[in-house]
Structure 1
Amino acid sequence: MKNFSTRVLGAALTLLLSTGVLAQPLELARDAPDQYVVVRGDTLWDISAKFLQKPWRWPEIWQLNREQIRDPHWIYPGDVVYLDNSSGTPRLRLGKPMGRGGAYGERAERARPEVRSEALPATAVPTIDGQAIAPFLNRPLIVDEQGLQSHPRIIATQDGRVYLSRGELAYARGIPDGAGADWHVYRPARALLDPDTRKPIAWEAQFVGSARLERDGDPATLRMQAVSEEVGPGDRLMPAERQDIPNYVPSPPQSDVEGRIVSIHRGVAQAGRNSVVAVNVGASQGVAVGNVLGIKERGRLVRDPETRKEVRLPGEPIGHLLVFRVFDKIAYGLITAASRDISIGDDVTNP
């Protein structure tokens, strides 16, 4: 794992160099502290935001190509983060709480015989809050144009009920013999529309519950394990996927990106920090997992008083998102910063 993380960090730094980002000086936050004590619940992004105006550039201020830091899992609650400007280029370094009475420093006081107790190892600080994106990593999101038509389907419910609840039985066709035990239940896919053309650019499956296979056959018998929406005949099944939450190293896209936000999780009209959104740019536009995109409000149209022609005003920056899952024409991102409400149709660009 450590060798893998080293390669990821090295690739990220190479990308930063190739895009010219490292040539730009790091801008410290106006109220950047001299030191900060890490607490449980912090993320690398949050910690870096205390020191940097652009916290997504934390791989640079931590100088991750140094031997000291070999992978992102190296900061723990209780560690002390110091801002070091001694070389003329700001960098962050770590210290440990030393001595008694809450003092911090490089030297420990003389030890005395005493009874000691040590807590279990603390959980390392992640890049972002992984719980916000976990459901999107473990479930398929984008399906082909035919939706879920080729997947197993629920044909009946226990006692002929209209909808199923947790613990009740469902009967499904199309599950092959020897298939896995755990299944996700989906509603037929809905189209994600391009904000400009209003034409479908991808089809998104709606997760509605999870089930466990109890008996093979045609139909097979499943028991509902969890239900987030109404589940009934006509809903489709996909094998449940398990994926650990990776620790992302943020980087700018390798090419210029111009896109729009096309949906917000749970169908709400506006999003904020830690909301998940879909954007209409993906792998075919050069977007990759770990890319940071800037969010700008969609500039409104005004009429030039002299030419009488409509002109779109430039959008103002209102936030950032971190891309965590990429398909051909769609990417999903977690909003990591927002200065105001973010809406469907807002622009996404290079940070």
Structure 2
Amino acid sequence: MIRKSIGLLAGMLVTVAVYAAGAQLRSDHPDSYTVRKGDTLWGISARFLSKPWLWPEIWQANPQVQNPHLIYPGDVLNLSFINGPRLGLQPRVRAEGEAIPAIPLSALRMFLKETRVLNSDEVKQLPYVVGFEEARLRGTVGQNIYVRNLKADPGQRWAIVRPSHTFRGFNEDDHSEPYGLVGHELDNEASIVTTPWREEFRNDHHYGRGKDLGTEVTVIGTAETLRTGDISTLLLLDSTLEIHKGDRILPIDDKPYDAYYYPHAPKAVPDNSRVIAFSDAMDSVGQMQVVALSIGAKDGVENGQTYSVMHPGETINDDVASDSWRRDMGKSVTLPEEFAGHVMVFRTFDRVSYALVMDGIKPVSMGDRLTMPE
């Protein structure tokens, strides 16, 4: 069976002449491409467009495209050159399967569903676990837990969270706020959970010691209200860790993330926009790895915004200008910053955003600066 939506991929990349200045076809584009399982919209666009984040603009210029995300394995895109660049379709029976996503959501589950970033003062004011039935030291599934300062109705369900990381802005000159995890400040029973974020400390730089941008909390369980009062009784329904005294209570977020993402350039880039943390690495990250940015919803950031990441140039000695026989005592000069890659925001909070490294030519490092994606 041939489905009408086989034309969706072509619709994304049609009207090349109209958008020639903004979304040019790459010189090395193939003559045809068959969509495969595991593809992403960004990856496909990058095969044909010099600026893959512009594919939504091309799609919007084609009213026949109902939904650019409904592109399936087996759809075929052909490119021909009759009187200039032109796109054509080769009808083909589509292989069964799910529509391909803009980004690999399955690889981002932890960042999409299990974490939130809140104002650090707000975390301290949340309702908290004060004890367990039969004077137990820890809470396990099927037991009652006791929570203080909770306003709830019987039957209402809650997420149990634990502070896992404090995000701080990039500021090499501000040492007024010592580095620390808010999880340590709640009480001595609320131990932190393992965090995917790494922070880097050097003698000549002070990453992570700037302004407090928010505290990340990780969902470690859910509970249901049985009785309310000054001390509420909740039934622990499930958990990934033992529940401790001091763990916080939050409403369950039924829709923690967007199902679809539309890559696009931001209207402006806030000052001092930086990469402030990255996951699952010690020194740097590459394509399809997650980073945290020092800007969020209150800075005008929204899901899908794409940025270029610029790595600072090295500071070296200028031997010619130094007029010194000792090279290490000469005058220094800082080389220009260099493009590292593109990141796309997939989840935003007030002052922090999570982004995915979409492509790049060198590793993304802590403190790298964000610019418009040109």
Q: TM-score, normalised by structure 1?
A: 0.75
| Equivalent residue letter for 2:24 | L
Q: Would the aligned equivalents of 1:186 and 1:205 in 2 still touch at CA under 8 Å?
A: no
- Relative to 1, partners in 2 of residues 1:309 and 1:193: Cα closer, same or farther, differing over 3 Å? farther
Cα distance between partner residues in 2 of 1:288 and 1:22: 27
Which amino acid counterpart does residue 223 of structure 2 have in structure 1? R
CA contact (8 A) 1:76 1:122 kept: yes
Q: State the Cα deviation string for residues 303-328 of structure 1 (Å, max 9, x = none).
A: 44426554332232222111123334
* Aligned match for 2:258, one of 218, 242, 245: 245
Instruction: Report the counterpart of residue 119 of structure 2 in structure 1.
Output: 144
- Residue of structure 1 in register with 2:339 after alignment: 317
Q: Is 1:345 aligned to residue 367 of structure 2?
A: yes
Q: Do 1:44 and 1:127's aligned partners in 2 also have CA atoms closer than 8 Å?
A: yes
In structure 2, the partner of 1:272 is 286
Q: Which amino acid aligns with 1:251?
A: H
1:210 to partner: Cα distance? 1.8
> Structure 2: where are the runs of 5+ without partners?
1-10, 12-18, 175-208, 323-329
Alignment of 1:87-236 (within 5 A): 88-89=84-85, 94-97=89-92, 122-138=97-113, 141-157=116-132, 160-165=135-140, 169-178=144-153, 181-188=156-163, 190-196=165-171, 197=174, 198-213=209-224, 215-217=226-228, 218-227=231-240, 231-236=243-248
TM-score, with length taken from structure 2: 0.71
- How many residue pairs get aligned? The number is 309
The answer to whether the Cα contact below 8 Å between 1:208 and 1:231 also exists between their aligned partners in 2 is: no
TM superposition shift of 1:59: 3.0
CA distance in 1, matches of 2:70, 2:135: 54
Pair 1:286–1:214, CA change in 2 (3 A) = closer
| Corresponding residue number in structure 2 for 1:101 | none
Give deviations 1:271-314, integer Å, cap 9, x for gaps.
Answer: 33332221112345443321111123332322444265543322
CA separation of 1:236 and 1:134: change in aligned 2, threshold 3 A: same
Matching of residues 293-308 of structure 1 within 5 Å = 293-305=307-319, 306=321, 308=330
CA contact (8 A) 1:147 1:188 kept: no
CA gap of 1:274–1:150, structure 2 versus 1, over 3 A, is same
Distance (Å, rounded) in 2 between the aligned partners of 1:94 and 1:160: 69
Tell me which residue corresponds to 1:254. 267
1:232, distance to aligned residue in structure 2 (A) = 0.8
> In the alignment, what sits opposite 1:77?
73
Counterpart-to-counterpart distance in 1, 2:40 and 2:154? 38
> What's the CA shift for 1:265?
3.7
- Identity over aligned residues, as a percent? 30
The aligned counterpart of 1:110 is none
- Would the aligned equivalents of 1:276 and 1:334 in 2 still touch at CA under 8 Å? yes
Whether the 8 Å contact between 2:123 and 2:215 is mirrored in structure 1 is no
Counterparts of 2:137 and 2:281 in 1: how far apart (Å)? 24
Distance 2:215 2:34 in 1: 42
What are the superposed Cα offsets for residues 176-197 of structure 1, whole Å, 9 maximum, x if unpaired?
A: 2316643222224743222223
CA distance in 2, matches of 1:297, 1:165: 46
Q: In angstroms, what is the RMSD of aligned CA positions?
A: 3.3
Q: Tell me how far apart the structure 2 counterparts of residues 272 and 210 of structure 1 sit (CA, whole Å).
A: 32
Instruction: Please list every run of 5 or more consecutive structure 1 residues that lacks an aligned counterpart in the other structure.
Output: 1-8, 10-20, 99-103, 105-118
* Aligned counterpart, 1:282: 296
Going from structure 1 to structure 2, the CA distance change for 1:257 and 1:27 (only over 3 Å counts) comes to farther
